[in-house]
Structure 1
Amino acid sequence: MTVQKFFRNRNLALIAIALLLSGLYFSTATLIDYHLVSSVKAIPAAIVWMVTNFMPTSRAIAALPEIVTKFTQTVTLSIAATLAAAFLALIVALTGSETTGINRFTKLFARIFASFCRNIPLIAWAMILLLAFKQSDLTGLLALFLGSFGYLTRAFMALIDTKATNIYETLSTTGANYLQIVCQGILPSISSSLLSWILYMIENNIRDATLVGILTGTGIGFSFDLYYKSFRFDLAGMTTLVIIVGVVCVELLSNQVRRLMR
């Protein structure tokens, strides 16, 4: 194949993909009666409305301690759910990994169970658990736990298979038993990567916990929903500001910890 023919075929493929995506967009937009131009024109008015109504007032400033307390509860819930999920995910990942898996059955079971938990959306977990446990902190914690467990199990399995295969084979030849290989060889070698994944999951869960709280009636998500539905938009605006500042601070702290672990 000549160079000219190669680039011509690539350009034709890009054009075909662009046409396919454009056709998909216009067909779905027509189906739901969505108009892009009207949406763009509505943006300035929407910004003016948000600035006018969501601007924190003296009443919102007075409620700041309560809002911060609710956000602290959300952060605590997210950390607890993530750490519990990480502990169980590490055990399941070790038994389900191609490198450290005990047998074929444990590998298959671990992967199926983790995939099941991961592929159910977090909101779906919250709604399912809401029917059983009603609106409570436990419902929010379990929803975050199950979503985090599936995600972390898959990540830990990939991490073990990528970084620990040579370590497992080397220590096996020296006569080390399974626990010695895992505890003294594999876990120390992947500890920094494990911590990085856990910190990432904590950041992600703090964001998700806000939305889950609207359904489960807990944390700062429920406070925002309550303020918004009662037309106290200044308090809702202060709640949003606390969420933004809090999430940014958590992310900066998480990045600093990652740098120290390198």
Structure 2
Amino acid sequence: MPADIFAKRRNDRLLFFGALAALTAGSIFITNYDPVAGFTSIGKAFVWGASNFYPNARALTKLPDIALKLRDTILMSVAATTVAAIFALMLAMVGSRTTRINAVFGAIARAIASVLRNIPLVAWAMILMLAFSQSQLTGFLALFFGSLGFLTRAFIETIDEVSIHAVEALQATGASHTSIILQAVLPSSLPQMISWLLFMIDTNIRDATLVGLLTGTGVGFSFDVYYKSFHFHEASLVVLMIVITIICIEMMSNYIRRIIL
């Protein structure tokens, strides 16, 4: 019997990898992609980047303007994430099995989180541009809705992990639903929620650059303008500033996580 099970698993794996190989080969054939040319061009891309894609003295004169756009991008990301976290906490309280009022509202809250979470950020930006055109509000709302879905799901799972013993103890004393949330649920789950919030801020600062390309705002729009006008040195400075900012924010986030967890 064990031999039959191992043989079946081996055959299933072979079938999976065979199907994956066939799908890959079919994709290459349909799209006329040349893998050899793709890999051999990597070296040429590095050579071109070393020759053209680096900040020079002229690009450094644009640093104040780039820094201002980067500041706007960071502030928009933080604002969208923190506002989304407030609404996500409300939905999570309704959707969690530990704190929900009833199963119907809980299912609705989970469904809302699932829908919002599964719509890509780029899709949100495209949808919202139809109503708000290219503006800061479009970028803010795109980050807000993407964060709301993710944080709601993360907060629900965090609350569900809270020790049920503390909740049952308060229920046995006749504590109200609000008291149980304030005295048992939030104190236990708040550190992990803050960790998820910091993670979402990191993610949104990265994604805000892409959103800026679509909405015509922030540092992403600056990169788009410089790159399309063949000002590659200025474009490289934008990329360098984004990378430095993300590394610094990630270091700060990791430090805060070590303190609160």
| TM norm structure 2 | 0.96
For the 8 Å contact 1:99–1:164, the answer to whether it is kept is no
Q: In the alignment, is residue 40 of structure 1 matched against residue 30 of structure 2?
A: no
Q: Post-superposition, which runs of at least 4 consecutive aligned residues in structure 1 deviate over 6 A?
A: none
Q: Which amino acid aligns with 1:167?
A: A
| TM norm structure 1 | 0.95
Q: Report the equivalent of 1:168.
A: 167
CA distance in 2, matches of 1:60, 1:254: 30
Q: Which amino acid aligns with 2:254?
A: N
CA distance in 2, matches of 1:104, 1:260: 36
For the 8 Å contact 1:100–1:168, the answer to whether it is kept is no
1:5 offset after TM fit, Å? Answer: 4.9
CA distance in 1, matches of 2:163, 2:131: 40
Q: Report the equivalent of 2:196.
A: 197
Q: In the alignment, is residue 137 of structure 1 matched against residue 136 of structure 2?
A: yes
Q: Report the equivalent of 1:55.
A: 54
Q: Report the equivalent of 1:84.
A: 83
Identity of aligned residues (%): 47
Q: Which amino acid aligns with 2:242?
A: I
SS where residue 31 of structure 1 aligns? helix
SS where residue 29 of structure 1 aligns? helix
Q: In the alignment, is residue 155 of structure 1 matched against residue 151 of structure 2?
A: no
Q: Deviations over 1:187-222 (max 9, x none)?
A: 010111000000000000001000001111111000
Q: Deviations over 1:114-155 (max 9, x none)?
A: 122112111111111111112211110011000000111011
- The 5 Å alignment of 1:6-17 reads 6-17=5-16
Q: In the alignment, is residue 234 of structure 1 matched against residue 233 of structure 2?
A: yes
For the 8 Å contact 1:60–1:235, the answer to whether it is kept is yes
Q: Name structure 2 gaps, 5 residues minimum.
A: none
* Distance verdict in 2 for CA 1:135–1:164, change over 3 Å: farther
Q: Report the equivalent of 2:250.
A: 251
SS where residue 40 of structure 1 aligns? helix
Q: Name structure 1 gaps, 5 residues minimum.
A: none
Q: Report the equivalent of 2:183.
A: 184
Q: Which amino acid aligns with 2:61?
A: A
Q: Deviations over 1:160-196 (max 9, x none)?
A: 1122433322211111101111111100101110000
For the 8 Å contact 1:70–1:219, the answer to whether it is kept is yes
Q: Report the equivalent of 2:217.
A: 218
CA distance in 1, matches of 2:169, 2:50: 62
In angstroms, what is the RMSD of aligned CA positions? Answer: 1.4
Q: Report the equivalent of 1:118.
A: 117
Q: Deviations over 1:24-70 (max 9, x none)?
A: 11111111111211100111111111221211110111111221221
Q: Report the equivalent of 2:206.
A: 207
For the 8 Å contact 1:168–1:186, the answer to whether it is kept is yes
Q: How many residues align?
A: 261
CA distance in 1, matches of 2:87, 2:254: 24
